[in-house]
Amino acid sequence: MGNDRKILMENIVYLDGDFVPASEAKISVYDHGLLYGDGVFEGIRIYNSRVFKLDEHLQRLYDSAKVINLKIPLAFGEMKEKILETLRRNNIRDGYVRPVITRGPGDLGLDPDKCKKASVFIIADKIALYPEEYYENGLNVVTVPTRRNAPEALNPRIKSLNYLNNILAKIEAKNANVIEAIMLTNDGYVVECTGDNIFIIKNRIVFTPPTYIGALNGVTRDVTMSLARNMGLTMEEKIFNRYEVYISDECFLTGTAAEIIPVVKVDGRIIGDGRPGSITQELVKSFRYLTQTTGTPVYE
């Protein structure tokens, strides 16, 4: 009985054409996704039985795969259908879905041509949300010493399985007792956070760093830029450094997990009046409305 219950409660994972219980979803220790971080992935939210910005996430997935010369063995439409089916099999109405494409099993060398077939798996699960108090009171963040990968080396616009750069920064954030960290480029420009994009507002002008300096082209970032423009605000993609952050009126982060989250302290400097800014709060409200009312239906 205990065992049956466990089986019933187990997540169902899509893996290379089959839907299997999570405990049976296994990949080879020779998979280059594991051995070398050679692969790509996405993180996508489901709100109110609809997938938010599914096409945008999938486009980024296929773009990332193309840049690393990885052929995804499913067509765009098939991938979409497998994602929706995985959500249905897990009865997810509010949650998160993670498609992952690895280079597949090869030998112990780096050569991707030794990997005969890419592996595809899709995990659908609940999402651990940030506590509401972070949205009400804002985050305290710090800048960390680990620099964001240089785009000339490993372009952060590729959403690859190689997240060690971000993990090193996350460790530094945790050492400083904060949950998110600002990362800089080698030249010292603010670029993004370990798993979020960053925005600042000064005199009602909204700024975010351009992705070409080394930030992920965040789906939430794109949505936020549109919302800001629709609110009649001037929206600029522009490089800036920590000075501009410290003297900004408002600051916030964007990401699939965090949504839009206010920042009230950076490296010990209070941002604005130390409370989530009014424009940020407007954006949070508009963003939440959008997530609840748009998206690809899962169950129709």
**What is the nearest approach in angstroms of ligand PMP to the Cβ of residue 198?**
9
Residue whose CB is less far from ligand PMP, 33 or 195: 195
CB of 110 to ligand PMP, least distance (A): 24
Which x/- pattern, by CB under 6 A, does the window 116-155 give for ligand PMP?
----------------------------------------
159 is catalytic: yes
Piece of the chain touching ligand PMP by CB under 6 A; list 28-36, 75-83, 103-111, 193-201: 193-201
Q: Choose between 14 and 52: whose C-beta lies nearer to ligand PMP.
A: 52
- The CA-atom distances, in angstroms, between 61 and each of 101, 131, 218 are 9, 29, 12
Question: Of 169, 221, 261, 280, which one interacts with ligand PMP (CB under 6 A)?
Answer: 221
- Please report, as residue ranges, which positions from 201 to 220 form the binding site for ligand PMP (by CB under 6 A): 216, 218-220
Candidates 172, 180, 196, 250: give the one binding ligand PMP (CB under 6 A): 196
The one segment of 80-88, 124-132, 248-256, 263-271 that binds ligand PMP by CB under 6 A: 248-256
Q: What is the DSSP string of 164-224?
A: HHHHHHHHHHHHTT-S-EEEE-TTS-EEEESSSEEEEEETTEEEE--GGGT----HHHHHH
Q: How far is the CB of 273 from ligand PMP (least distance, A)?
A: 27
232: exposed, middle or buried (C-beta count within 10 Å: 0-12, 13-18, 19+)?
exposed
CA separation for the pair 294, 70 (Å, rounded): 31
Cβ(71)–Cβ(15) under 8 Å?
no
Residue 255 binds ligand PMP, judged by CB under 6 A? yes
State the Cα–Cα distance between residues 169 and 50, nearest whole angstrom. 33
How near is the Cβ of 222 to ligand PMP at its closest, in Å? 8
Residue 195 touches ligand PMP, criterion: CB under 6 A: yes
Interface characters, 24-53, with ligand PMP (x: CB under 6 A): -------------------x----------
Q: Smallest gap, in angstroms, from Cβ of residue 4 to ligand PMP?
A: 36
Question: What is the rounded CA–CA span in Å between residue 68 and residue 145?
Answer: 28
Count of residues touching ligand PMP (by CB under 6 A): 14
Which residue out of 53, 80, 82, 159 is catalytically annotated? 159
| All residues at 6 or more sequence positions from 182 whose CB lies less than 8 Å from its CB, including other chains | 141, 142, 143, 144, 190, 192, 193, 198, 242, 245, 266
Phi first, then psi, for residue 118 (nearest 5°) are: -65, 145
Q: Which helix (H) or strand (E) holds 125?
A: strand 119-125
For every residue of 228-265, DSSP letters joined together read HHHTT-EEEE----HHHHHT-SEEEEEETTTEEEEEEE
Q: Which of 254, 280, 286, 291 binds ligand PMP (CB under 6 A)?
A: 254
3-state secondary structure of 160: strand
Shortest Å distance, C-beta 197 to ligand PMP: 5
Strands 119-125 and 50-51 turn out to be unpaired
Query: Catalytic positions, please?
Result: 159
Binding site for ligand PMP (CB under 6 A): 43, 166, 192, 195-197, 216, 218-221, 254-256
